[in-house]
Amino acid sequence: MEKPQIDFGLKIMGGDIMSIPGLYRFIQETIKKQVASLYLWPRILEIPILDPSMLATRKPVGILHVNVVRASKLLKMDILGTSDPYVKLSLSGGGLPAKKTSIKMRNLNPVWNEKFKLIVNDPKSQVLHLQVYDWDKVGGHDRLGMQLVPLKLLTPYESKELVLDLVKNTDINDTQNKKPRGKLTVELLFTPLREESMKYLENSISDVKEAENEVLEEAGVLSVTIQGAHGVEGEKHTNPYAVIHFRGERKKTKMMKKTRDPLWNEEFPFMLEEPPIGEKIHIEVMSKRTVFSFLQKESLGHVEINLADVVSNGRINEKYNLINSKNGKIHIQMMWTTA
């Protein structure tokens, strides 16, 4: 369809000022822009496609045993020609806090021999981050070097010692990575949780059984899944969320606004060195205002669960009556899985 043209001619003294070269076209374009601004024309909205594997909540499938053995020939960061190193280690995609070794004061060749256990959700894609820092009493700590270890390089139940050359960063084109920053020696062992270990039995049954005897079978993962609640009610507001208290740790679900029957379906793993026999876990349903959330919090009920049944049975799936609640119940699943 041909664009309509509007005559904006103006007769003055018998002449049309729109006949002035260029003026007519200028007026036409100006009018079209002003009219277009009054309408919401279709626009292109670009939405990045996320990797579904990054969005899915994976359950723990194993434990990574890390022994930070030693470092050698570290950089000199202090005025006296030494450093105060410690190692920070974490797994990509785990969402759990990093762990740290002790600090070795004034030592360029520290020996730690400190052991850690990290929860593994996907050994094919996760990467172990190892970073060596120089501790400072004042200000930020300087990074002496770092290195990455993809877990796919490890064979289940097979201990592996690695001597890693520390680099400044992961940019292979950075010329500063050519500067020697010392070495870090670690021992790594990936042990699938008992349910997952059945996948490897077909490959080498004898090797698996022999290696399992050398692993601390007491270590495991306590997975706590808060499915939802029913009939919870607050005196001033009902915006429920659940809070888990266990061994000094505090974890909580997202808040659901204005509902007595929230559905969370959120899982929280706890890495434990030994079975939690004789221990209890405290779970409380709370509510808070959506505005000025630091004010007006109230409890909608709580429950304390003995973990002996979880350890002996391996799994529980129960609905519990909330204490100090009129009719409230909470649905909880828990699983204890050992390596």
Backbone torsions φ then ψ of 278, nearest 5 degrees? 80, 10
Tokens at 1, concatenated: 């369809």
pLDDT at 27: 62
Considering 166-170, 223-227, 292-296, the range whose residues carry the highest mean pLDDT is 223-227
pLDDT per residue over 31-84, tens digit each? 666 555 544 444 333 333 334 444 345 678 999 999 999 999 999 988 788 999
Written as six digits, the tokens of 326 are: 């009129």
> pTM value?
0.60
**Residue 30 is inside which H or E element, if any?**
helix 23-36
Alpha carbon distances (Å) from 122 to 102, 189, 199, 283: 28, 15, 14, 28
Calpha distance 199→190 (Å, rounded): 14
**Which two structure tokens, joined as six digits, stand for 133?**
């820092």
Instruction: State pLDDT tens for residues 153-190.
Output: 999 999 999 999 999 888 877 888 788 999 999 999 99
CA distance 320 to 301: 11
- Return the DSSP state at 290: S
Q: Count the Cβ atoms, other than its own, within 10 Å of residue 190.
A: 24
All structural domains of the chain: 58-196 (2.60.40.150), 220-338 (2.60.40.150)
Q: What is the mean pLDDT of residues 293-309?
A: 87
**Torsion (CA) 8, 13, 14, 19 in degrees, nearest 10:** -40
Q: Alpha-carbon distance 333 to 224, whole Å?
A: 6
